[in-house]
Amino acid sequence: MDVATAPFLTIPNLPPSVLIVIVPFLVIAGVLTTTRLYTTIRYCLALPRHTSATDKSAKAKPPPPVPYTIPILGHAISFLAPRPGKFWANLFRSHPRATGSCTLLLGGRNIYILFSPSAVQALFKTRGPARDGFNLQIVEKGLGIDCKEGLRFFGIGEGPDHTGITPAQQLENIDHNYLLGKKSVNELTAEFVRVLRDQVTSKLKGEGGEGKEKDDALYAWLQDMMFNASTTAFMGSRILEVYPNLREDFFNFDRVMLTMFFGIPKWLSPKAYNVREKTLGGLIEWQQQMQEECKSNPADPDGDVDWEPVYGSRANRARQRYYASRGLNTRTRAGIDLGFLFGLSSNAIPAAGWMLMHILDPEGDQSLLSRVMEELERARRDDGTLDIPTLIGLPLLHSVLHEVLRLYVDVLVTRELEEDLKLPLDDGKRQVLLKKNAVVMAPSWLGHRDEALWVDPPCHQFCAERFLKTDPETGKSVFSTSGTNGKFFPFGGGKSMCPGRVFGKQEILASVALVLLAFEFEPLGFVDEQRKSKNEFPGLRKSYSGSGIMAMDGDMRVKIKSRK
């Protein structure tokens, strides 16, 4: 039989209109199949070199490239799915953790992912890798700032000015002097505590006072007080007077910021961009009024005034002066301020909320609240104020905070490589090669929730005492993070570690302390985001990787009354 007429090779005589429809699908299917087949073969050939126990003396190799199906996009679609931890769980169903690293293709760019504690720790100690491009992406895509204005703010590539300091060094000095310096942080914390105490006092008079009780959602109740206090302490009291809807608009922005940062176009998510414009509009109005009130000359951050109502703290006044020296327009200033609010409130407030919910959890350790209260009494002065140095030294409270950070922080510590970099794996027995011009990420989720690193109790469980150890000399419990290098990094690591971490810790601990010392709470059950009753402790709200402190998908209903 002639091969050309063999029945199984005969191509149906289809109408052109049908072929027009079918052929593109066949071509796409062929491309996707070929891509998957090629990347799988490449992965299978590379993987043994990263897992072989007999290949530890060989030269360093790039992380194995994980297979994908869609050219250019690679793993981007599944990586951007707003389900915390889902991408990593799917990845490690087939990719062995023993490799310590892997390569993902995200939107046409190779991204190295590190999850070996040795490699992560070494990355943090390396001075070469930078994050300039990542910072620009944040301000441009996430905050809506023009590219030229973003470059002007960071001063990337600029040399020193007449004082011999570059713009980058000026920003570092602001962080070091006003966000990390002990005197400035203590002043900032004192102002935060003062404002929060005023709000707590108001709550005591307005609800739960004189034997009254009130039912409320715990986190929503806390969020309002903490946002007002931290914003006032850092930014001044005038901002909430000029922009009274800031809290509501900010938390709407908080939910959508990463949508824009990851490049989701406006036509796919118009609400996100509209929310940002509304929030920026309110901050622009505030900026314009404050510039008029202080005649574009904020109070000297190094003067005698530690806080004033127009621009608030020394740190904010120093930043406002930096904006002026760089010639930033009002929209850019408002955008950078929005970014600061994001760092100020989108992490500390949820962290305090998670702490309170675990301490009060009716299904958790029933002795935890009494043990925390016993510690807090040691930090309360005779006049009812908090002794902050004592507070931040309380071991159990500190352990609860760090366990919350371990369970609920999701950050992508990102660096850009300007030259090839070799990092150790397995305590240096093997090495991984990261090639220049690539991006490397160290996801906190992979260190914080590694079942092999957090064993007793298992990593998915909350354990208030996880960061406590017994002092062999005194027999007392002491707080300790020893042995967690490279696997626990809630504030990032290296030279770009979060500059607000010192104030952030004090803000969280002070909030939890003031609330627990002032009020009694009776848990009444849990609710979802629509305030409908549910049986389970709140879980994680849908969010993208890199969200910082992940928000909860519900709340705890409580009966609140003042303590006697």
445 inside domain: no
If DSSP codes are grouped into helix, strand and coil, which group holds residue 432? strand
Identify whether residues 168 and 120 lie together within a single domain.
no
Cα dihedral: 298, 301, 305, 310 (round 10): 30
Identify whether residues 395 and 291 lie together within a single domain.
yes
361 inside domain: yes
Q: Which letter, b or e, does each residue of 497-533 get, where b requires 16 or more Cβ atoms within 10 Å of its Cβ? A: ebbbebbbbbbbbbbbbbbbbbbebebbebbeeeeee
Tokens of 491: 């504030």
Q: Choose the final residue of a domain: 72, 101, 128.
A: 128
Identify whether residues 228 and 104 lie together within a single domain.
no
The pLDDT tens digits of the residues spanning 237-273 come to 999 999 999 999 999 999 999 999 988 899 999 999 9
Nearest-angstrom CA–CA distance, 120 and 114: 6
Higher pLDDT, 564 or 102: 102
Confidence (pLDDT) at 52: 66
423 inside domain: no
Identify whether residues 208 and 245 lie together within a single domain.
yes
Identify whether residues 186 and 81 lie together within a single domain.
no
Averaged pLDDT, 211-224: 87
DSSP class of residue 484 equals -
139 inside domain: no
Identify whether residues 389 and 291 lie together within a single domain.
yes
251 inside domain: yes
Nearest-angstrom CA–CA distance, 214 and 271: 35
The pLDDT tens digits of the residues spanning 151-188 come to 999 998 888 888 889 999 999 999 999 998 888 899 99
Range of the domain at 73: 7-128
pLDDT of 443 > 80? The answer is: yes
Cβ of 141: how many Cβ atoms within 10 Å? 17
The pLDDT tens digits of the residues spanning 398-424 come to 999 999 999 999 999 999 998 999 999
156 inside domain: yes
The pLDDT tens digits of the residues spanning 351-378 come to 999 999 999 999 999 999 999 999 999 9
Confidence (pLDDT) at 210: 53
Confidence (pLDDT) at 384: 84
Higher pLDDT, 221 or 200: 221
Cβ of 121: how many Cβ atoms within 10 Å? 19
Confidence (pLDDT) at 12: 62
Confidence (pLDDT) at 361: 96
Identify whether residues 158 and 116 lie together within a single domain.
no
DSSP class of residue 342 equals H
The pLDDT tens digits of the residues spanning 451-482 come to 888 988 999 999 999 999 998 888 899 999 99
pLDDT of 4 > 50? The answer is: no
Identify whether residues 381 and 239 lie together within a single domain.
yes
Confidence (pLDDT) at 73: 93
- The answer to whether residues 545 and 77 touch, using CB atoms and an 8 Å cutoff, is no
Averaged pLDDT, 428-442: 89
Query: E-assigned strands of 364-435?
Result: 409-410, 412-416, 421-425, 430-434
Where residue 14 falls among pLDDT bands split at 50, 70, 90? low
Confidence (pLDDT) at 9: 43
Nearest-angstrom CA–CA distance, 192 and 555: 25
Confidence (pLDDT) at 149: 96
Q: Choose the final residue of a domain: 98, 128, 158.
A: 128
The pLDDT tens digits of the residues spanning 553-564 come to 999 999 998 887
Confidence (pLDDT) at 59: 81
Averaged pLDDT, 308-313: 95
Where residue 211 falls among pLDDT bands split at 50, 70, 90? low
Identify whether residues 149 and 82 lie together within a single domain.
no
Identify whether residues 385 and 455 lie together within a single domain.
yes
498 annotated ligand binder: yes
Number of domains into which the chain is organized: 2
333 inside domain: yes
Q: Choose the final residue of a domain: 72, 102, 128.
A: 128
Identify whether residues 47 and 149 lie together within a single domain.
no
CA angle, 316 then 290 then 151, to 5°: 55
Confidence (pLDDT) at 60: 86
Higher pLDDT, 221 or 51: 221
276 inside domain: yes
Identify whether residues 82 and 184 lie together within a single domain.
no
Averaged pLDDT, 95-101: 93
Averaged pLDDT, 77-103: 93
- Mean pLDDT score of the chain, rounded to an integer? 90
